[in-house]
A and B are shown apart, each in its own frame.
Chain A
């Protein structure tokens, strides 16, 4: 696989993995969390990845989000090889191209809803002005229906609302893709449904989403479903095949 081949389809492919493996090593033991994963995610796609607990879903999402580095294999984001980046380069890509949504919301308790959402913009290379930040944050919070909660602290919100704040934060830099890890895991079914509704709306508006979940109901909402088992993608195709499929 070469960068040139990926570049040829740059317009369609957001993320591409080829032969990615992740091994966790202890002194006596080597554990394969992921084994030769080949994966392409296309622009505008809503992909769900499911599998039983401990199958490597979250590890895969970490690799996709540059939160961890693979042991072997190649990884491209919008055609750029990101398999081995410096901390600063990885931070730039995470900030500009990827939005994260976690099961446990991961909001900073001490910051207001506004500041939580604004956080990625404060690290953005374009150094947006206060006014631009305020406009973007407001727009994102409006999009998830929380425009009236900007000055609240996360602990003053319900779980569902917190997750929607997390979604707003993920959207604020207009990333190429949203990486979503068990978004409803910490929520009751009603709140979970509301959050999933927001994601569906975002997808409908053109946002690329890659979601990890073990809830079959939510898998069905995705445009494409993949299954992971013991670190291997079931029925996975190589990038070439995926591209030509």
Chain B
């Protein structure tokens, strides 16, 4: 053992290039493998850190229209409360309403994420307290007990970690609450609606921000209210869903049976595990990543096999000596195994360190797009992956090295002074290696080119939007103001006027930003045809379209008179217009949302605007625009190079009313970049995979061809002797390996054909001709790479005298 170890160390030290190439290649690939598999474990397998997490579900109130199509997934307030009170099925239930509110007494008037919850929320998620207590029956529904629990981070950042915080008063959005607890530092809020979502302050459900007039309405939709429950042990999700769907549908039907609009509609109560809700579409992305890394691992394994084969061939004499002195085949295997284990051990160590770096970086930077990002770190599973993959690779390569040694001929080769074929790789093996590399490379490259193109086109399109100089201002309204809509409207009108008077400001629109404005669908009816339409709805003023340079294709935009009088006019985009009329001409058509009181409030279509691509969204959606005042969001166009700080605006708002403050002041460019973050990450990742695939395939193919040419040195020498020119020789070598390249391409085509459905889903808006173009480019690239791989080792031989081939360069 000591002798073998010494030998192995000596071999590694004496062949630095060989050792370095193996350690470098494997380190990179292992780091990718460990990172992705750790990610996969955390995302797909690791239980959430809540008790009985497998039984936790989120209920979705799915409204299905008369055609059986899903209209929306959102609770109305009375249905939510009814289910909470009368479910009779779940072990535990909890309600949550998510808000963003101002801490009135804290310097800088920070906006925090509030969660209005029923007391069971604390039990279901086992929220540990650093100080004080959580909610109990004293905060149960309809008790109206004004207390608050704050997060550890809020306690640190906004209350300077005061130990005497319990019992102090906290003013949130103009309402006073007594602080009764501080959550533990390590508690992680479940991100139910948005990845990376956190809660800063928990308040009792009774104080949620649903308006009093909305509370009794059975057809409204509230995306901020959610229902979480724990299933009993003896009932499945499907059973519970079926049973509760009947119940909620019955209750809903009783309350809307007078509304003709909902004739034929029904409610399904969909239950999804909390894990599914939190992960959203992440599993599909993880599967793609695993596939991509598997491809890279395969390419790297082929490359490393090639290096080991060459190395084994080069030490034929030593192996022959060992065999002559009595080393069995197993002894040779052990010798190989030990040497390879040392190399792979080192690569694993470096790979693990790199993976730790990648995971920490992901944890820091990808919070907004990666669920459970805060859990990303090297863990026991990462170590197990490293160990198992290291052992598999070591054994695989040692087996390969032993396999290519013709043990029977080893001693013979010693007798014939090193000539003979004791260490040789068959033509079939070489062709297999080439075909394998080509097929994996083609598949990986095409898929990644496709994903990269889709994302790049989204990014490019987003950059065509004229967002320069535009900034979104969201004004926070204290609770006492929010209740008085008329007063709010007057105040916000004043805000708009005073903003427009600032010397830095060119124009102000009382509209929300087109990016991330969380629109909900409007149920509209086209009056003449009675066709139901479900566009996304948005309220804007007369300046919105001109500020965003959104072209009006037909008719006109809103006027200040329309805004002032809340005129019954509507503007739609061309996507909706196409749905309404086959020729896209929807001008003058009447739309109505009034489902309760006839058609007297019909809206007339006065204009059709060109649909605007929204950063981060892949398709153009049907949209309708109304002119309705009262919103607290503004788009400010600053004069060239001018800007106004948050403090200046806060001072301005406070001078208008103390209940107003800046909620958010973000340039639209920044919003665009944030909305494109996923596209940036995906583009970066695919680009890295493309580069790694190209690099590894190039190294692999050139390595294989190099050895192939080396083995055929004599044959090439003969061709040279009889007058073959370099081009003829290149064609000869390329032709010899061409069949392997063609087989590789065919395998890849078959794989891509099998993956056609998911690929078409990924390709989305990319035209078929473009996809063929990409496929053609991929094939051209792989064939060119194959040609280069044939040429490079051949050119090395051609630089030497022709006699080198036939006589080995010896006299």
Binding site for B on A (CB under 8 A): 33, 54, 56-59, 62, 65-69, 87-88, 90-92, 94-96, 100, 102, 104, 106-108, 119-120, 123-124, 169, 173
CB distance from B426 to the nearest CB of A (A): 13
In the assembled complex, B44 has its CB within 8 A of some CB on chain A: no
Interface residues of B in 294-338 (CB under 8 A from A): none
Note all chain B residues with C-beta closer than 8 A to A56: 811
How far does the alpha carbon of A96 sit from the alpha carbon of B803 in the complex, in Å? Answer: 18
Checking A62, A91, A124, A169 against B803 with a beta-carbon cut-off of 8 angstroms, the contacting residue is: A62
Would you give the 0/1 interface string for B771-811, flagging 1 where the beta carbon is closer than 8 Å to chain A? 00000000000000000000000000010011100110001
Residues in chain B near residue A119, CB distance under 8 A: 718-719, 722
Structural contact, B715 and A102, CB atoms closer than 8 A:
no
Known contacts A68-B803, A87-B725, A106-B718; 14 additional CB pairs below 8 A are A57-B811, A62-B803, A67-B802, A67-B803, A87-B798, A88-B726, A92-B725, A94-B723, A95-B722, A95-B723, A106-B721, A106-B806, A108-B718, A169-B722
Please list 25 pairs of residues, one from A and one from B, whose beta carbons are closer than 8 Å in the complex, sorted by A's number.
Answer: A58-B803, A62-B802, A62-B803, A66-B802, A67-B720, A68-B802, A69-B801, A91-B723, A91-B724, A92-B723, A94-B720, A94-B721, A95-B724, A100-B721, A102-B807, A106-B714, A106-B717, A106-B718, A106-B806, A107-B718, A119-B719, A119-B722, A123-B719, A123-B725, A169-B722
Interfacial residues, chain B to chain A (CB-CB below 8 A): 714-715, 717-726, 728, 798, 801-803, 806-807, 811
- Contact partners of B801 in chain A: CB under 8 A: 62, 67-69
| Nearest CB in chain A to that of B807: its residue | A58
User: Does A54 lie within 8 Å of B811, measured CB to CB?
Assistant: yes
A residues within 8 A CB of B719?
119, 123
User: How far, in whole Å, are A123 and B725 apart by their CA atoms in the complex?
Assistant: 8
Q: Which residues of A contact B811 (CB under 8 A)?
A: 33, 54, 56-59
Interface class of chain B by DSSP? helix
Residues of A within 8 A of B722 (CB): 94-95, 100, 119-120, 123, 169
Query: For residue B725, which residues in chain A have a CB less than 8 angstroms away from its CB?
Result: 87-88, 91-92, 123
Q: How far is the CA of A173 from the CA of B723 in the complex (A)?
A: 10
Contacts of A169 on B, CB cut-off 8 Å? Answer: 722
Q: Which residues of B contact A33 (CB under 8 A)?
A: 811
Cα–Cα distance between A94 and B720 once the two chains are bound (Å): 8
CB neighbours (8 Å) of A66 from chain B are: 802
Nearest A residue to B727, CB-CB: A88
CA distance A53 to B720 in the complex (A): 25
B418 vs chain A, min Cβ distance (A): 15
**In the assembly, what is the distance between CA of A56 and CA of B726, in Å?**
27
- Closest approach, in angstroms, between the C-beta of A146 and any C-beta of chain B? 18
Residues in A whose Cβ lies below 8 Å from that of B726? 87-88, 91
Closest A residue to B726 using CB positions: A87
A178 CB to closest chain B CB, in angstroms? Answer: 12
Tell whether, in the assembled complex, residue B723 and residue A120 are in contact, meaning their CB atoms are under 8 Å apart.
yes
Nearest B-chain residue to A166, judged by Cβ? B718
What are the nearest 4 A-B pairs in CB distance? Answer: A95-B723, A68-B801, A67-B803, A120-B722
Inter-chain CA distance A58–B808, complex, in Å, is 12
Query: Do the beta carbons of B721 and A65 come within 8 Å of each other?
Result: yes
Q: How far is the CB of B470 from chain A (nearest CB, A)?
A: 65
Query: In the bound complex, what is the Cα–Cα distance between A108 and B805 (angstroms)?
Result: 13
Task: Give the residue among B714, B723, B798, B801 with the most A Cβ atoms within 10 A.
Answer: B723
